[in-house]
Structures are given as C-alpha cells and as structure tokens.
C-alpha cells in the first residue's frame, strides 16, 4: 500500500509540475513574441521616419557615385544595431521601377508581394519565423525614392534562470512528495494491517481480540474501521456468551420437566404414585415442554421470515382488555390492570397481536410485586401500548439488550416459568413484522416499562 501510494503521489506531483512548467514556458514564449513584435514595430517605424534625410546624397542615386554614397550611409545606419536592442537592420531602396531587391533581406525574413503592397500603403509588417521576430516599415527619401527598413530580433523569454530555479523547485517538490507519501502510507497502512490481523484472529475464534481504540475526536474512515472491528468483536463475543447461556437455560428447562415426567412415570409404574396425581403432573410438565419447543420453532420461523400475517383492522384497546383478562386467570399473585380511554384502531394480525400482549404481560408478571398496568393510546400517527410493572426495574446495562434473542437480564425474576429469554425476542420480531417497533425503559413507579407501537389506521 505504501509503495502504491508513493507512486501515485509522485506521479501526480510530476504530472502537475510538467503541466505547470510547459504552461509557463508556452505562455512566456507567447508573451515574449508579442512583446518583441510590438517593440520592433515601434522601433522600425521610428527608424523609417527619422532616417529619410540621413539617406540624402550629393549625387544622383542612380549613378555609381550616388550608389557608393548611399551604401556608405546604409552601412553607417546598420551600425546602429550595436546600440539598439535589435539584432539586424536592413534598408531596402527601391529602383527606378519601384522594385526592391529582396536578396538583401535576413535569412529568417520573407516578404510577400502583399507585404510590399501593405508597406507602400504606409503600413507595417511584423512576423516571427524560427524564434526570430521582424518588423518592416516604409518611408521615402527627400528625392522621392522609396525605401523599406527591416529590423530583426531573436525572441528571448527571459526564462533561463527561471527554468533552472523551476527545475530545482521541482526536484525538491518530488522529494517532499515522496517523503509525504511514505509517511502517509505507513500511517494509513498500520491501522489497516491491524484491522486485517484482528479480523483473521476473530475469524479463527479469538473473540477477545481488539484493535487499538482511536481517540474520540478522530472521525475519519480508518477510525470508523477500527471502531467497527471492535464493535463486531464485542457483538460476536456477547453472542457467544448469550448462546452459552441459552444452551444452559434451555437444557435446564428441558431437563427439569423431563426429570419430573420420568420420575412420575416410574412412580406410577412402581405403584408409589397415584395414577391421577402422576398424570396431572406429567400433563403439566409436557405442556411446559410443548411451549418451549413452540417458542423455539416460532422464533426460528420469524427470523427466517417463513411465516405469514393475516393483517386486518382491529381495536388495540380491546386486545389490551382481552390480554389483561387472560392474564388474570393465569396468575393470582399479580393483578393486571387494563387502562384505555377509547378505541385505538390499528392494522395487525389478531393472533400475533394477542401473543405480543400475552408475552409482555407474562414478562411483567414475573418481575412485578403486586401490579401490572397495560395501557394504550394514540400519539400522532402511532398507537403506543405500554406494560408497566412495580418490580425492581431494568438495569441500565440490560436496557439495550432486553429484546435480544437468548438474552436474560441480570435481575432474576421471582417466578421463573420460562427464563430462556425467548418471549421478548418473539415480541420484537412480531411487532417489527407488523410495521412497528419496541422499546424498554423505566416505569413511572420505578419498575420496568416495555412498550411497542403500531401505525394508526
């Protein structure tokens, strides 16, 4: 990872430097060309307008003497290039027919007939060939003879020192980018390697494995990855503990009635127990076994979504009263109170809703000292049903796990009819399937409050 990150960062740095360097060179060259052409145009125009009288000779310019004097003065004029920012100055003088001898032009300058027409009309001509800019301007001597002044200058963008400085800066930037890539790659790779190693150990069964917890202020992706690994390990470890607790609890719940059934069956067989009394106990214990097995099968179906719901419109308050009346006949130690203020229409499966209420009331009766209160009401678009008991309440550490599969609270109930932790898990699965949700908290009287909500019709 570090090597790939270093290559990527160095590649980006080099590409950026190349783009910046090439762009700077192109812009500098274009600006230098434009500046050189503008300066040459101004200088050439000035020369053409100021040397007209300088080319005045004593003899006729068509005579040998006139030509000699004219060439001498042109040579003197060309020496001006040593003091002007011009590489070369050429003066073309028209003959009697108004034609110019272009053989004297610099090698990098080419003037077309169109250019000469522009010059004779009083304009100027500029151009650039082979990184040499030129400018041409025309004028006429006092004798009326036309001439053209051509000046050239090599384009210098002035980037020589800048290019060297840019190369040094580019090298330093690449070195810094490489160093930053190595450091950043190591910092990024270390938590990833730790997470990978931890995941492998967790997969091998070492559920106590954890990665270093990042500071609370870190909210980047790597910190979230570390927290997720630790959270996954916590969940798996807690799941293993819950599974062990569940197996122990179910084994106990199965062993106790089976032992009773076997004992009373042997007693009946040996004649030590009255058949009627033994049959009653066997029937009661068989019902306990049947209920436990039914809960296990129902929970498996709920979690695999291999069940169907017969959802209809019904009154939740009526279901609350029915559940309270059914619980009153099942327990004599606890009084179940139904509190409603009118119809609460919801859409739910009647049988599944009755099972939800029965499980919640039964759970409250296990922990309650004397009273269980079941109420329902409408809150906005939701129908909320609460089951409060006057027992010891739910520990803060248990609140988030009350409805988990296989979970049993630290606070043991006085009446342990079905302590395997399946009833509330079934409640959550059924309520969720009917479009609602469940919650656990504290009741106003200090006991526990278990509640659920369903959408109002």
Residues 405-435: tens digit of each pLDDT: 656 655 555 544 444 567 888 899 899 989 9
pLDDT at 51: 65
Q: Between 233 and 54, whose confidence is greater?
A: 233
Residue at 170 is within a domain: no
CB 120 within 8 A of CB 136: no
**Do 10 and 149 have their domain in common?**
yes
- Asked if residue 378 and residue 362 are part of one domain, the reply reads yes
- Residues 445 and 350 placed together within one structural domain of the fold: yes
Dig out the tokens for 431 from the structure: 């309520």
Asked if residue 16 lies in contact with residue 177, where contact means CB atoms within 8 angstroms, the answer is no
Structure tokens of 97? 């027919």
With 50 as the cut, is the pLDDT of residue 271 above it? Answer: yes
Please indicate, yes or no, if residue 189 is contained in any of the structural domains: no
Q: Determine the pLDDT at residue 305.
A: 65
Same domain flag for 284 and 239: yes
Residue spans of alpha helices (H) in 271-395: 275-304, 316-330, 350-367
Residue 141 confidence class, pLDDT cut points 50, 70, 90: low
Relative to beta strand 335-339, strand 371-379 is parallel
- Domain closes at, from 287, 307, 327: 307
Same domain, 42 and 77: yes
Q: Are residues 384 and 371 in the same domain?
A: yes
Condensed to tens digits (0 to 9), the pLDDT of residues 312-364 reads 999 999 999 999 988 876 667 889 999 998 999 999 999 889 989 988 998 89
Query: What is the pLDDT at residue 188?
Result: 74
Report how many domains make up the chain. Answer: 3
Q: Retrieve residue 440's tokens.
A: 């656990």
Range scoring the smallest mean pLDDT among 253-262, 278-287, 373-382, 405-414: 405-414
pLDDT per residue as tens digits for the range 175-207? 887 788 777 777 777 788 888 888 888 888 888
DSSP-assigned letters across all residues of 378-431: EETTEEEEEEEE-SS---HHHHTTTTSTT---SS--SS-S-TTS-HHHHHHHHH
Q: Which residues of 410-432 are buried (b: 16+ CB within 10 A; e: fewer)?
A: eeebeeeebbbbbbbbbbbbbbe
Judge whether 191 lies within some domain: no
Phi, psi of 138 (to 5 degrees): -115, 160
Residues contacting residue 65 through CB under 8 Å, at least 6 positions apart: 59
**Average per-residue pLDDT for the chain:** 80
pTM above 0.85, yes or no: no
Range of the domain at 6: 2-160
Tell me which of 140, 160, 180 is where a domain ends: 160
Same-domain check for residues 12 and 133: yes
Let me know if residue 340 belongs to a domain.
yes
The rounded distance, in Å, linking the Cα atoms of 387 and 365 is 10
Residue 172 lies in a domain: no
Would residue 226 count as lying in a domain?
Answer: yes
Could you tell me which residues are beta bridge partners of residue 26?
A: none
Sign for the CA dihedral angle at 134, 138, 139, 140 comes to positive
Rounded distance between C-alpha atoms, residue 211 and residue 58, angstroms = 103
State both tokens at 43.
């200088």
Closest CA to 104 of 125, 117, 114, 89: 89
Helix or strand holding residue 137 (H, E): strand 132-140
Percent of the chain with pLDDT over 90: 17
- Phi, psi of 245, deg, nearest 5: -60, -40
């Amino acid at each position: 990872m570090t090597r790939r990150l270093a290559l990527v960062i160095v590649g980006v740095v080099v590409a950026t430097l190349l783009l910046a360097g090439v762009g700077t060179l192109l812009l500098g060259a274009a600006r230098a060309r434009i500046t050189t052409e503008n300066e040459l145009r101004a200088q050439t125009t000035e020369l053409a307008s100021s040397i007209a009288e300088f080319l005045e000779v004593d003899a006729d310019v068509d005579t040998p003497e006139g030509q000699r004097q004219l060439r001498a003065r042109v040579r003197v004029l060309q020496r001006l290039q040593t003091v002007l920012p011009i590489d070369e100055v050429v003066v073309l003088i028209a003959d009697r027919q108004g034609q110019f001898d272009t053989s004297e032009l610099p090698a990098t300058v080419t003037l077309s007939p169109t250019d000469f027409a522009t010059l004779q009309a009083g304009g100027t001509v500029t151009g650039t060939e082979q990184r040499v800019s030129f400018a041409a301007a025309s004028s006429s001597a006092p004798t009326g003879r036309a001439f053209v002044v051509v000046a050239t200058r090599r384009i210098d963008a002035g980037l020589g020192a800048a290019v060297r400085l840019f190369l040094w800066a580019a090298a330093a930037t690449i070195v810094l980018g490489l160093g930053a890539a190595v450091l950043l790659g190591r910092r990024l790779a270390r938590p990833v390697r730790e997470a990978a190693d931890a995941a492998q150990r967790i997969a091998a069964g070492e559920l106590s494995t954890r990665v270093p917890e990042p500071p609370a202020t870190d909210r980047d992706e790597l910190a979230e990855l570390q927290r997720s690994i630790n959270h996954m390990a916590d969940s798996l470890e807690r799941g293993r503990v819950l599974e062990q607790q569940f197996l122990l609890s179910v084994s106990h719940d199965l062993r106790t009635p089976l032992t009773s059934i076997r004992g009373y069956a042997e007693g009946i067989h040996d004649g030590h127990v009255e058949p009627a009394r033994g049959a009653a106990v066997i029937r009661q214990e068989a019902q306990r076994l049947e209920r436990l097995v039914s809960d296990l099968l129902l929970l498996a179906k709920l979690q695999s979504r291999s069940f169907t719901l017969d959802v209809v419109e019904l009154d939740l308050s009526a279901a609350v009263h029915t559940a309270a009346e059914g619980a009153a006949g099942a327990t004599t130690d606890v009084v179940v109170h139904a509190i409603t203020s009118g119809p609460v229409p919801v859409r739910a499966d009647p049988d599944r809703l009755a099972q939800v209420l029965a499980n919640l009331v039964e759970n409250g009766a296990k922990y309650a000292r004397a009273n269980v209160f079941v109420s329902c009401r409408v809150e906005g678009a939701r129908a909320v049903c609460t089951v409060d008991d006057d027992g010891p309440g739910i520990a803060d550490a248990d609140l988030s796990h009350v409805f988990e599969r296989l979970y049993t609270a630290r606070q043991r109930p006085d009446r342990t009819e079905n302590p395997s932790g399946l009833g509330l898990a079934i409640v959550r699965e059924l309520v969720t399937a009917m479009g609602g949700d469940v919650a656990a908290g504290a009741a106003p009287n200090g006991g526990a409050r278990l509640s659920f909500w369903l959408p109002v019709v």
